[in-house]
Amino acid sequence: MTILEKIKNGLIVSCQAMEDEPLYSSYIMAKMAKAAESGGAVAIRANGYYDIKAIKAEVNLPVIGLIKKKYPGYKPYITPTIDEVDKVIQAGADIVAIDATKLIKPGDITTAEFFNTIKRKYPEMLVMADISTYEEGVKAYKLGFDLVSTTLAGYTDYSRKSDQPDFELIQGLAEDIKIPLIAEGRIWTPEQAVKAIELGAYAVVVGTAITRPHEITKYFVEHIKKGGDDLFRNKMASY
């Protein structure tokens, strides 16, 4: 089975912790990936050379690798230059995810130029386009990317903001591009994951709702507080 066949209609779990997060550790991310594998995930999305390496050693699943790195003066931070691409591939990733927005990347190069450089150097490598709008998704498809993901929807200055997944974008791109469209970003419930697949997504990525316990805790605490406030108000109103 090819990698794309393996991930079809499945759940990809993003196992990422940044330096300022409590679970920042390649050991912990590898265990997170192991847990995701036991639960039936079809692939893992991971950030950083050491995390990717540790995860590849721990699980028998395809890994979508990226390296988040900020360069002064440039906005793209997901695998923004060929140096990060090299490292992602050296770590053993099966797919490399890069910023494929319209934003100019370090070295003043466009997504098209960057993509061509990658494919010249690594013709066999699957490259995922992390995009934020419909136009960027269509452009990535036309450039020859292997997959498109809605990763950056809501995270560029000019894309639609919401606390929900961008279902309109998922549906629009799934209909109009002839390569796998991955639904990613703010998917918190199984119902939302199913909806994304029903709208045409090839697979779904869930990160925070599975692998960022501090955010999951916050989500519960906020709901309890809000519920508690409403309850309190209702109680007061009844006196």
Binding site for ligand LRY (CB under 6 A): 14, 16, 66, 151-152, 155, 184-187, 205-209
CA-to-CA distance for 53 and 196, rounded, in angstroms?
30
Which residue's CB atom is positioned nearest to ligand LRY?
207
Closer to ligand LRY by Cβ: residue 174 or 206: 206
In the complex, what is the shortest distance from the CB of residue 93 to ligand LRY, in angstroms, rounded to a whole number? 13
Helix (H) or strand (E) holding 206: strand 203-206
Tokens of 39: 């639960």
Q: Assess contact for 50 and 17: CB atoms under 8 A.
A: no
46 closest CA partner among 1, 91, 6, 76: 91
Closer to ligand LRY by Cβ: residue 82 or 128: 128
Closer to ligand LRY by Cβ: residue 4 or 216: 216
In the complex, what is the shortest distance from the CB of residue 77 to ligand LRY, in angstroms, rounded to a whole number? 7
In the complex, what is the shortest distance from the CB of residue 79 to ligand LRY, in angstroms, rounded to a whole number? 10
Closer to ligand LRY by Cβ: residue 14 or 111: 14
Segments in 40-133 forming alpha helices (H):
49-58, 82-90, 111-121
* Strand-pair category, 95-99 with 126-130: parallel
In the complex, what is the shortest distance from the CB of residue 192 to ligand LRY, in angstroms, rounded to a whole number? 10
